[in-house]
Amino acid sequence: MAWALRGLREGIVTTGYPKKADGYGAKFKSSVSVLGAGTDPSPREQPMSGGRGSGPSSLCPTGAIEENRGEVALDRGRCILCGRCVETRPGRFVFESSPEIAVVDREHLVVPGRVESDEEVTRVRAELRSRVRALRRSVHVRHLDAGSDGSEEWEVAALLNPVYDVQRLGIFFTASPRHADLLLVTGTGTSGMEGPLRTTYEAMPGPKVVLAAGTDAISGGLIHPSYVTRAGISSIVPVDVFVPGSPPSPFSLLHGILLAIGLLPASAVR
């Protein structure tokens, strides 16, 4: 009886995303963007230990920031959202709140990015739709931890709670790769998980898509390079969708899954 009364009191807690924007998702610091040349009236930066000078690139522990003749670019696929660049160079870097940060091309994680032609955008959309045309009613996801620190697993598990409730969208998690349409991978792709990751991918029936969830899965994060890790999982299995973040929020993961299976409007595909 207590749970029934609580339900009546709280009402519907499940998000309406992706049909409508969610207020909670818009408050999450999901990524970092690079502003114009901008100046910081009171710079507070200190080079990282073993420093690489005093420019913006010296601020990032994963080398996500690069400088070239005064132009600054940031690779979201290597960013761990530590906030050091935003804190010390507020005139150059800023946190973004939109959870819709998944992309289908690794190069698009570098901001500011290059301007694409209409033909290129059309080609990417058409290729994605053709591959996942059969995945329209229900999709089964196999999650595989390939050397994660555990933070992404909390966000993946949250997708099943009443707030996100991915099953309402026809998305279900399965323990068997034989039943899976989408392989959601977290972790750096350690040497001990190379074999299991390949085996899982090969066991999936087609059409199948792979989603790299989090900075570790995309680029190796803080613990790359090392003798047991790779620069992400792309060298082990082909990746179709990249979801940056350390960790990415459940909304970002849901956006990536919907992007991977072609259930987002064409305007949302990048």
pLDDT digits 0-9 by tens, 166-225? 999 889 999 999 999 999 999 999 999 999 999 999 999 988 899 999 999 999 988 777
Contact 64, 136 (CB under 8 A): no
CATH topology of domain 106-268: Rossmann fold (3.40.50)
Helix (H, G, I), strand (E, B) or coil at 209: strand
The β-bridge relationship of strands 31-34 and 171-173 is unpaired
Say yes or no to pLDDT of 135 above 50.
yes
Contact 102, 252 (CB under 8 A): yes
Say yes or no to pLDDT of 43 above 60.
no
Across 16-20, 51-55, 105-109, 136-140, the highest mean pLDDT is recorded for 105-109
Confidence band, pLDDT 50/70/90 cuts, at residue 266: very low
Share above pLDDT 90 across residues of the chain, in percent, rounded to a whole number: 55
CA 256 centroid distance within chain: 7
The β-bridge relationship of strands 182-186 and 139-145 is parallel
Q: Which secondary structure element, helix H or strand E, spans residue 93, and what is its range?
A: strand 93-96
Contact 69, 61 (CB under 8 A): no
Say yes or no to pLDDT of 226 above 90.
no
Ordered DSSP codes for 122-143: HHHHHHHHHHTTT-SS-EEEEE
User: Which pTM does this prediction carry?
Assistant: 0.86
Per-residue pLDDT of 240-255, as tens digits, reads: 999 999 999 999 999 9
CATH topology of domain 31-96: Alpha-Beta Plaits (3.30.70)
Quickly tell me which residue has 């026809």 as its tokens.
Answer: 170
More confident residue, 137 or 61: 61
Specify the pLDDT at position 82: 94
Residue range(s) in the chain whose domain bears CATH number 3.40.50.12280? 106-268
The β-bridge relationship of strands 71-75 and 65-68 is antiparallel
Say yes or no to pLDDT of 235 above 50.
yes
Residue range(s) in the chain whose domain bears CATH number 3.30.70.20? 31-96
Quickly tell me which residue has 């009364």 as its tokens.
Answer: 5
